[in-house]
Structure 1
Amino acid sequence: MLKPRVKAGDAVGAAGRRPAAVDWALVSLALAMLLSSLGTSIASVGLPTLAQAYQASFQAVQWVVLAYLIAITTLIVSVGWLGDVIGRRRLLLVGIGLFTTASALCGAAPTLGALIAARVAQGLGAAIMMALALALVGEAVAKERRGSAMGLLGSMSAIGTALGPSLGGLLIAELGWRAIFWFNLPLGVLAGLLAYRYLPGDGLAPRANLRDFDFGGMSLLAVTLAAYALAMTAGQGGPGWRNGGLLLLALVAGGFFVWLETRVASPLIRLGMFRDPVLSAGLTTSALVATVIMATLVVGPFYLARTLGLDAMLVGLLMSAGPAAAALGGVPAGRLVDRLGAPPLTLVGLAGMAAGSSMLWLLPPALGAVAYVVPLVIITTSYALFQTANNTAVAADARPDQRGVISGMLSLSRNLGLITGASLMGAVFAYGARATDVTLASAVSVAAGMQMTFAVAMGLICLAIAIAWAGRRRLLPAPADVAEAASSMPGGGAESGYQNSA
């Protein structure tokens, strides 16, 4: 039987552990991120096959993807809090086990209802893995390597997104649709074994009593997020009474959630933490940037196919260039963050995304596919840099007992951005194309819709730059404060200097 290399209760920090143990711990976290991102993209390619296998409509089999995404979005903050309470390593092992078991149940599902129920369980496991993988970087990896570690996790997430459609198509063609879920089993077992053996222990005693868990807050937050996610996805995000009712429910439940969190002894989210400018700016910019990234996924296939006239195989190949660039750029981005610091590189990443978006806004269709792919690669590579720097900056300031919650909120902000982007950017695209059904729009109309979409995207990135800059400025000491601090030190201000925490 495998025994944990670092036992629970050992007072061994990341810096004091052997390099091999740290590397294997990081591999386990990377596998957790890969599996959770693969769970979304690999299933989407199988929807036509599932509709045929279960004799169901496309609207019905869509819930195979939506159930997974909504489960993650709804529960990710709650599982982050739970990890802070009962131990992150402990809960991560439960999450890996749940995801792996649910994958087996998905592959064996006799009915579509059973498959959707298993996907909800799989989404819960994925929420645990996504929330706690980022949080555990602070415990498993020394501080000077955290940027590289964050970059690796970002790369694995991008690889899972990029690899899913092609891998899913291959597995379905060779082994049938059930193989897209059974493929997770050996990777899940390996991730669990490595996490059990190499991740540092949580300690013998939980840090809080489970009876203090904010079940009321968890329930209200779950209703808020589920209602919002459903409002953005019902009817492809188009306006209607159902969407409006769900948004109203999300608003009311969110208001009650905020009211409750100010009154309970142990709140799920301490609202006072949002006074931290790094956290507030990091979460807001993460959501805005994810909204723009979703635009590339929503608009790109229509532009390449309808305006440029490319076949499906070439469209898929060109669309994979974006996630591939993000995957390749993740680790180098992490090294840059370790060397130069997170705040300036957050702004550099956002500036690169703005440049790529402006190129697509002004792109004339006559320039062909290369002129689309180059800005796409600029956007996704800059996104890898932004995400690594932003996650590192937020995690660096997190209190040890709040890393799970904050990591969950980072993942939540990204998911909310993706869900919003699918609806908002899709609506902007349709409006710009002057068509209720974009699949029937002319090549010129699709090009106009694409340009309008990325004009809006550039505006969102400029807003993100302003928020990130304002958050950084709030951390800078005022000149008077610096002078007063310097004059109070031995030897006066000329020799003392100061360090900027930003």
Structure 2
Amino acid sequence: MVRDTCSNTSRSGSRILNVISVTTLASFLTGLNARLAVVGLPVIASALNANVDTMLWIIQGYMFGSTIIQLIIGRLSDLYGRVRLFNLGFLIFICAAIIAGFAPNPYILIIARIIQGVGGALLMTLSVTILTDNVPRNSLATWLGINQVAWRVGAVAGLSLSGIIIDFMGWRWIYLIYVPIGFIFYLWGMHTLRESYKPEEKPKIDIGGFTLFTAFLTSILLSLTMFTFGSRYIQIASILLVTSLILLAIFVLWEIRILQPALDLRLFKIWQFTGGITAQLLYSIGFGAFSTLLVLYLEIVRGFSATSSGLLIVPFEASYLVFGVLGGRLSDKYGYIPITVIGLISSATAFLGLSTINPSSNINMIILYEVIFGFGTGLFLSPNTSSIMTSVPAGKRGVASSLRSISANIGMLLSLNVAILSMVQYIPYDVASKLISSKGVEDLDGYTLTDLSNAITRSFAIQALAMLTAIPFSLSRAIKKGKAEIE
């Protein structure tokens, strides 16, 4: 009897380790993707003759594809299996990387990035869901922290390798490198993962909700893109903005009324969930444009090479590697609220520091701000994710994970657009395009590198404000919880 118990325990431990290994590799792959592409932006822009709006869409195309598919990932995983869909994510990611690597123009690259975003969303969202299904609750935050640290390890590798890949292999290998790596990870996932969750009934796909949400997100992103063009397009941009809000309202009404909605909006009645989702959204508005802005500052304003710029962003990622695991452990021990609030305050402080830099700022100060930001990110992300996932019933975790990812992606999309909008308030659109593509930097129509630096750093100030506004939502979960217990 004792022998059987030990054997079962051993098999259970082995199964959990297999799950952790595959989800960790998936996080590593998506982290690698996030940083390889960002550091190479100026080179890609120059090679493909891209202007500021097409470059914006190369960045946000990935998040756009990721966000729209999030809406139905939960339902799709219940229909076809979480593990099967997770492994499909590897194949989609690899195929899109091949298209991106051979893209003849920025528009094909944007399409490839949208497809790649779909694959990346399957990997990231379902890795969290699969972990939550298989890992004991009392250690979930720790393992989620390690999962997110794996993303950062991939990001560090991306930052370290990006310049080398660009200099010796060309920018196309920023995408083609995923093909052999992704295929190896896919084979490991097929070999090790097994389904552990079976829904009681097969749900229906909410095609109407998916269509409305996709139309809403497309409208608002096109609107924000056109606002960057200036007064010539302000009318059509305004029409698109109003249209997006109408579509959002229709989407909410649709989701409330149908029997099997893409998003179960009843989850928002759970304040621990709602507060965490809102805090995630606001944090992402602050976080989303960080790497892009810092790369532009380092490569354009300061004149560093792609290799040097990548290495100079490593301190942030390294800091997160340390404090990402620590944040999960502290949350398991002391609760998520104090840890997430400390993380938000630290992150906002770092961004306020970055909002003061100029073309002659000491690089060591910038590195210090990065380390503080990594500390704050580590303390906020994994505890907040854990609080969101454990606040809902097991059968709703797929939907909860999708909502969490949607809030993060929408926040990052808004962050990129707000950053560009902020920049073009201080420098003309044409100058911004020259800035992004590294063309004509010596001829900026009377504008200097100081003006460009100011445009970038003002965006950091806006991001700091977004992070500060997330604090009340994290704190209020303690108040709401207390009232619920009394009642």
Using structure 2 for the length normalisation, give the TM-score. Answer: 0.83
Deviation per CA, 1:274-324: give whole Å up to 9, x if none.
1211111111111211222235335434555777x5634654433332233
In structure 2, relative to structure 1, the CA distance for the partners of 1:316 and 1:38 (3 Å cut) is: closer
The percentage of counterpart residues that share the same residue type is: 25
In structure 2, relative to structure 1, the CA distance for the partners of 1:265 and 1:46 (3 Å cut) is: same
In structure 2, relative to structure 1, the CA distance for the partners of 1:317 and 1:174 (3 Å cut) is: closer
Match of 2:463 in 1: 457
Correspondences of 1:379-418 after superposition (within 5 Å): 379-418=373-412
Give the superposition deviation at 1:117: 4.1
Mapped contact 2:53–2:225 kept (Cα < 8 A): no
Give the superposition deviation at 1:443: 5.8
Match of 1:476 among 445, 460, 482: 482
In structure 2, relative to structure 1, the CA distance for the partners of 1:46 and 1:400 (3 Å cut) is: same
Match of 1:182 in 2: 176
- The letter of the residue matching 1:311 is F
Give the superposition deviation at 1:147: 1.3
Match of 1:154 among 140, 148, 151: 148
In structure 2, relative to structure 1, the CA distance for the partners of 1:87 and 1:336 (3 Å cut) is: same
Mapped contact 1:299–1:429 kept (Cα < 8 A): no
Mapped contact 2:359–2:449 kept (Cα < 8 A): no
Give the superposition deviation at 1:448: 5.2
Deviation per CA, 1:421-473: give whole Å up to 9, x if none.
12223434555x57774655446555655664444334322321112111221
Match of 1:225 in 2: 217
Match of 2:161 in 1: 167
Match of 2:240 in 1: 246
Give the superposition deviation at 1:220: 0.7
Deviation per CA, 1:344-380: give whole Å up to 9, x if none.
2111211222333344456798762222321222122
Match of 2:351 among 354, 357, 375: 357
In structure 2, relative to structure 1, the CA distance for the partners of 1:264 and 1:320 (3 Å cut) is: same
Correspondences of 1:97-136 after superposition (within 5 Å): 97-107=91-101, 115-136=109-130
Match of 1:75 among 66, 69, 72: 69
Give the superposition deviation at 1:236: 4.9
Match of 1:209 in 2: 202
In structure 2, relative to structure 1, the CA distance for the partners of 1:365 and 1:55 (3 Å cut) is: closer
Mapped contact 2:228–2:421 kept (Cα < 8 A): no
User: In the alignment, does 2:304 pair up with 1:311?
Assistant: yes
In structure 2, relative to structure 1, the CA distance for the partners of 1:449 and 1:253 (3 Å cut) is: same
Give the superposition deviation at 1:478: 6.8
- The letter of the residue matching 2:181 is L
Mapped contact 1:140–1:199 kept (Cα < 8 A): no
In structure 2, relative to structure 1, the CA distance for the partners of 1:344 and 1:106 (3 Å cut) is: same
In structure 2, relative to structure 1, the CA distance for the partners of 1:45 and 1:352 (3 Å cut) is: closer
Mapped contact 1:361–1:453 kept (Cα < 8 A): yes
In structure 2, relative to structure 1, the CA distance for the partners of 1:270 and 1:55 (3 Å cut) is: closer
332-341 vs 264-273, which deviates more? 332-341
In structure 2, relative to structure 1, the CA distance for the partners of 1:139 and 1:466 (3 Å cut) is: same
Give the superposition deviation at 1:213: 1.7
Give the superposition deviation at 1:408: 1.6
Deviation per CA, 1:122-158: give whole Å up to 9, x if none.
2211121121111111112222221121112212223
Mapped contact 2:138–2:332 kept (Cα < 8 A): yes
140-149 vs 227-236, which deviates more? 227-236
- The letter of the residue matching 2:471 is I
User: In the alignment, does 2:460 pair up with 1:467?
Assistant: no
401-410 vs 441-450, which deviates more? 441-450
Match of 1:292 in 2: 286
Give the superposition deviation at 1:162: 4.0
Greater RCO, CA 8 A, separation 6+: 2
Mapped contact 1:86–1:208 kept (Cα < 8 A): no
Mapped contact 2:102–2:172 kept (Cα < 8 A): yes
Give, in whole Å, the separation in 1 of the partners of 2:49 and 2:483.
64
Match of 2:133 in 1: 139
- The letter of the residue matching 2:205 is F
Give the superposition deviation at 1:37: 3.4
Match of 2:16 in 1: 22
Using structure 1 for the length normalisation, give the TM-score. Answer: 0.80
Match of 1:494 in 2: none
2:470 is paired with a residue of what secondary structure? helix
Q: CA RMSD in A?
A: 3.4
Give, in whole Å, the separation in 2 of the partners of 1:61 and 1:361.
23
Deviation per CA, 1:246-282: give whole Å up to 9, x if none.
3223212111111111211111112221121111111
Match of 1:485 in 2: none
Give, in whole Å, the separation in 1 of the partners of 2:183 and 2:308.
35
Give, in whole Å, the separation in 2 of the partners of 1:54 and 1:450.
24
User: In the alignment, does 2:258 pair up with 1:264?
Assistant: yes
1:267 is paired with a residue of what secondary structure? coil
Unpaired segments of 5 or more residues in structure 1? 1-13, 482-502
Mapped contact 2:326–2:378 kept (Cα < 8 A): no
Give, in whole Å, the separation in 1 of the partners of 2:14 and 2:463.
43
Give, in whole Å, the separation in 2 of the partners of 1:478 and 1:271.
20
Match of 1:84 in 2: 78
In structure 2, relative to structure 1, the CA distance for the partners of 1:91 and 1:318 (3 Å cut) is: same
Mapped contact 1:40–1:69 kept (Cα < 8 A): no
Larger radius of gyration: 1
Mapped contact 1:395–1:403 kept (Cα < 8 A): yes
In structure 2, relative to structure 1, the CA distance for the partners of 1:302 and 1:202 (3 Å cut) is: closer
Match of 2:5 in 1: none
Give, in whole Å, the separation in 1 of the partners of 2:109 and 2:356.
44
Give the superposition deviation at 1:92: 0.8
Mapped contact 1:64–1:119 kept (Cα < 8 A): yes
In structure 2, relative to structure 1, the CA distance for the partners of 1:103 and 1:284 (3 Å cut) is: same
